[in-house]
Amino acid sequence: MARYVAHRLLMMVGILFGVLIITFGLSRVLPGSPVEMMLGAKPTQEQIAEARDRLGLNETLPEQFLIYLKNAARGDFGTSLRTGQPVTRDIANRASATVELVVVSLGLSLLFGLPLGVISAVRQDSWVDHAARAVSIAGVALPAFFIGMLLQMLFYGTLEWLPLQARIGAEVLLDHPFETVTGLYLVDTALDGNWIAFKSAASHLALPVLTMTLATIAIVTRNARAMMVDVLGEDYILTSRAYGIPARTIHYRYALKATLIPVLTVVGLTFGYMLGGSVVVEYVFDWPGLGGYVVGALINNDFPAVMGVTLVLATAYLMINLAVDLAYHLVDPRLRRS
Amino acid sequence: MSTDPLLAIRDLYVEFPLFRRTVHAINGCSLDVAPGQIVGLVGESGSGKSVTALASLGLVGPPARVRGSIRLAGHEIVGCRDETLAAVRGGVAAMIFQNPTTALNPYFTIGRQMTDVIRLHRGGDVKEAKALAARSLGQVGLADTGAQLHKYPHQLSGGQLQRVMIAMALACRPRLLIADEPTTALDVTVQAQIIVLLRELAAQSNMSVLFITHDLGVVASLCDRVTVMYAGSVVEEGAVSDIFDHPAHPYTRKLIDTVPKLGTGRRDFVAIPGQVPDPSRRPAGCPFHPRCELATETCAREQPAARPVGSGHSAVCHYPDRPLKLVSSRGSAEA
Amino acid sequence: MSSVAMVSEPGRWRTAWHLMSRNPLFVAGVVVFAVVIVCALFAPWLAPYEPNAINFADKLVPPGLAHPFGTDDLGRDILSRVIHGARTSLVIGITVLAIALVLGIPIGLLAGYYGGRLDSLLMRLTDVFLAFPPLLLPIAITAALGAGLFNAMLALAVSWFPWYARIVRGAVLRVRGERYIDAARAMGAKDMWIMTRHALPNSTTPVFVQASMDFGYTILAAASLSFIGIGARPPTIEWGLMVALSRTKFLDYWWIAAFPGAAIFFTVLAVNLIGDGLRDVLDPRYRGRS
């Protein structure tokens, strides 16, 4: 196991290196000089000289890459043109909003998607199965931004139940401030016992989470169903049936355990889709996370910010997939000792 | 022979509807297994022997259609309720499979799988079930049974796993063991060991065995009676000695000819010319007639009925006693 | 049941078509997609109005007889714009997949055929591209190349090709060990010849199935890029961009967002239904599944 972990870590470092080569390459194909991009319009001569020096643009390309690597390793992604702050600080300020959105959405997506997929596999061609498949087919055909806007029309426009956008009511934040500990508003307000702010945070979270969940539940359901159908076709399920083990035990103890292992990969997959989807969904809901930050950066040609977030999210995705892989090895007895 | 058969299959039909056609897997199969008897069910692959075995435990469900009658220890299996199946499966009749490496759940230990089954059929707590599981493993010749219980299937060899399967079956004390080609996936030496083991265990516990195989050599060394299947129906049935010494159906005779004969100095291997018919397009009349060198117009037109050819020996053929042109077929094989 | 799969090659396609034509969802997908294609081909004749004609006198008219889908805040007829948008979406789907195939197929062929060092190098390359969460690499590439529909398509293709490289590689690996490849080589056939004549045809079915599944996703991803402002730009008529432009007004005037959004949904849905139908029949691994 230790050797496997070491091997996987090494592989991840290699891939991360490749990712850095790509982001470095992209930052060098920019139309116009990266210095202009970094400093915006009308920089002074000193600023240009300083920036060229810092980016090492006077060096050869491999040396430039080394400097790039060193900066990235220190967490220095440059200065955001839009906010004038170090990109790293901007990311740190906004990461918690994205984490809160993605974690809650991932939880809901799995909570509803997995059982739906499993039930639809166990009861093939029942109404549950047909409904689940309809949801799967339709769910992947709706763009996330459109789901978000439809929900806004319904829950804000028509029903007036939920707020349109933002993370918490501005007046709530003024009248009922709370201490920021984790950066996750639901947790912080609850720790504070500030239920008014908690309610506001929860109601603001509802629509973005619902959007993300609806946009990804199809992937979860589809994969869970396919994997469960596979498992139910295995010889050992036939053995269990031949020995009179009740259907419920077979489905929800034996088959589910065998299904949950491949389903772990679905967690990684869904996580990736959510990170990508967060860009669009946060934009729709004016959610102050990394995705919204990227869109703002794109509009303002804030290239360091775009690359910084890309690197951070790619790293997060790699780490989740690593965790999934290791969990896989812990759970599957056939892989555990090899 | 005076007792009622433990397993009695009468006029069994199994069909699998596909898109535009229907596969007739079993066409009027009838078969008896008496208490304490070891019956071999023989046929080429695709002859329906495995489907017959699965149907005996009600394991062939929709979309497949099952007609006819299967009586197992007094219970009617065809169209019965789930409670009946639950009572029969494992407890009355247990089953072992062709590929032991996939027949056990890779995510649970051997012990867990055995105790689950044992507690279901014999009751008792986990401790008692574990003791019984260990004893069963000892009975089938596995050493260090306590340690085996904690192992996962991938840690055992194919032969060991088949012993585990047999132990799991035995622990339920079934009256009938259905063995679906249990040695096909194993090495030759291991095959022989498993056969010997099955023979001993059946004798010790007065258990009936329905042994499914395409290997006539195994049948000769293990079984009391033989049923030969071709294209989903029975073509000949009788005691082992009768079938081997006086095969009546042309198909059986060909089948026995294909067995390599040891000790004769040569290995005569006569393949049966032609192919097993497509189960969705069965020929009219006798299903074997396109491959039968004795076939007449009657064979192509009329389906033959079972007719006795000796005591407790019957063949489903219009001309069960006509001699085959064995010489010519041997000659062609040698040429 | 395996006999279904063992039909000869031309017969297989005929059987496949027969099976698919019995799948009502597949047929529905074909019908809807055919409508989209007709819209794309004959947009100028089908559209009742000039799609970019600004007419402030008729702005924000709700759906009605004169404007079945209503008009937007510049008085442009939404039905006409939706019909013209079909062109953009089809062009996007075809272009992105074509570029992705051009990149992916040779890489997969080389990796699968030569194996060894080259294989692991190329496969690590695909790993790197797949290490980015979906949509993020296209965003970064488009940001670097500059916003615009063509750059967005290029970016999508570049983030997409690894899937095809992997599929082709897998298919090549399956035939590499076959006797007839050895025989061809023994008879002095050049590697290039063997790859294109023997290895490549073996990968057409899985690539075709995958491409049919990806077509819809490509349209969705491009619409998302347009939505966040780095894909299509005016005067290009693109459904995602239409929805984006409606953002400030859609709560009061639902039709300016609803119709282009619905156009994306039905087009992608149709393509996915076709892809599912193809996969079920052509890819035996999935037969009778999901």
Which tokens sit at A102?
């993605």
Predicted local confidence at residue B260, as pLDDT? 60
Q: How many Å apart are CA B93 and CA B174, to the nearest integer?
A: 5
Mean pLDDT across B10-31: 80
Q: How many Å apart are CA A79 and CA A101, to the nearest integer?
A: 26
- With an 8 Å Cβ cutoff, are A143 and C290 in contact? no
Predicted local confidence at residue B265, as pLDDT? 44
**ipTM score:** 0.89
- With an 8 Å Cβ cutoff, are A276 and C136 in contact? yes
For chain C, what percent of residues have pLDDT higher than 90? 56
Amino acid occupying residue C199: A
The residues pairing with B22 across neighbouring beta strands, listed in sequence order, are B17
- With an 8 Å Cβ cutoff, are B154 and A236 in contact? no
Residues 100-159 of A with CB under 8 A from C: 133, 136-138, 140-146, 149-150, 152-153, 156-157
Q: What is the mean pLDDT of chain A?
A: 87
For chain B, the residues whose C-beta falls within 8 A of a C-beta of chain A are 57, 59, 82, 85-91, 94-95, 97, 99, 102-108, 116-117, 120-121, 152, 154, 165, 168, 172
Amino acid occupying residue A132: A
Residues 6+ apart with CB under 8 A from C177: none
The tens digit of pLDDT for each residue in B240-281 reads 888 888 888 888 887 887 766 554 444 444 567 677 777 777
Q: Does A264 touch chain B (CB under 8 A)?
A: no
Please choose, from the candidates A89, A30, A87, the residue with its C-alpha nearest in 3D space to the C-alpha of residue A57: A30
- With an 8 Å Cβ cutoff, are C131 and A137 in contact? no
- The pLDDT-based confidence of C255 (bands split at 50, 70, 90) is very high
Q: Does A77 touch chain B (CB under 8 A)?
A: no
- The pLDDT-based confidence of C1 (bands split at 50, 70, 90) is very low
Peptide bond into C134 cis (omega under 30): no
For C228, the closest of A149, A283, A314 (CB atoms) is A283
The tens digit of pLDDT for each residue in B168-207 reads 888 888 888 898 888 887 778 888 888 888 888 888 888 8
Torsion of CA A116, A117, A123, A125, to 10 degrees: 100
- With an 8 Å Cβ cutoff, are A243 and B94 in contact? yes
What is residue B107's DSSP assignment?
Answer: T
For A272, the closest of C127, C128, C133 (CB atoms) is C133
The tens digit of pLDDT for each residue in C23-36 reads 788 899 999 999 99
Residue of A nearest to B174 (CA): A243
Helix, strand and coil in chain A, % to nearest 5? 80, 0, 20
Q: Helices then strands (H, E): number in chain B?
A: 13, 12
Residue of A nearest to B62 (CA): A124
Greatest Cα pair distance, chain B, in angstroms, is 66
Q: Does B16 touch chain C (CB under 8 A)?
A: yes
Q: Is the pLDDT of residue C3 over 70?
A: no
- With an 8 Å Cβ cutoff, are C3 and B278 in contact? yes
Residues 194-253 of C with CB under 8 A from B: none
Predicted local confidence at residue A338, as pLDDT? 47
Give the closest-approach CA distance of A238 to chain B in angstroms: 8
Mean pLDDT across C115-120: 89
pTM: 0.82
- With an 8 Å Cβ cutoff, are A26 and C144 in contact? yes
Residue of C nearest to A224 (CA): C290
- C3 to chain B: which residues are within 8 Å by CB? 278
- B18 to chain C: which residues are within 8 Å by CB? 1, 4
The residues pairing with B41 across neighbouring beta strands, listed in sequence order, are B212, B227
A 10 A CB-CB count for A227 gives: 23
SS3 A122: helix
Residues 283-322 of B with CB under 8 A from C: none
What is residue B247's DSSP assignment?
Answer: -
Mean pLDDT across B118-138: 85
What is residue B290's DSSP assignment?
Answer: G
- C224 to chain A: which residues are within 8 Å by CB? 143-145, 279-280
Mean pLDDT across C36-41: 95
Among the ranges given (A323-337, B210-224, C38-52), the one the predictor scored with the smallest mean pLDDT: A323-337
- C243 to chain A: which residues are within 8 Å by CB? 143, 145-146, 149
Predicted local confidence at residue A125, as pLDDT? 79
Predicted local confidence at residue B328, as pLDDT? 39
- The pLDDT-based confidence of C242 (bands split at 50, 70, 90) is very high
- With an 8 Å Cβ cutoff, are C22 and B18 in contact? no
Among A216-220, B235-239, B302-306, B331-335, the range with the most confident prediction by mean pLDDT is: A216-220
What is the DSSP code string of chain C? -GGGT---HHHHHHHHHHHHHT-HHHHHHHHHHHHHHHHHHTHHHH-SS-TT---GGGTTPPS-SSSTT-B-TT--BHHHHHHHHHHHHHHHHHHHHHHHHHHHHHHHHHHHHH-HHHHHHHHHHHHHHHTSPTTHHHHHHHHHH-SSHHHHHHHHHHHHHHHHHHHHHHHHHHHHTSHHHHHHHHTT--HHHHIIIIIHHHHHHHHHHHHHHHHHHHHHHHHHHHHTTSS--TTS--HHHHHHHTTTTTTT-THHHHHHHHHHHHHHHHHHHHHHHHHHHH-GGGTT--
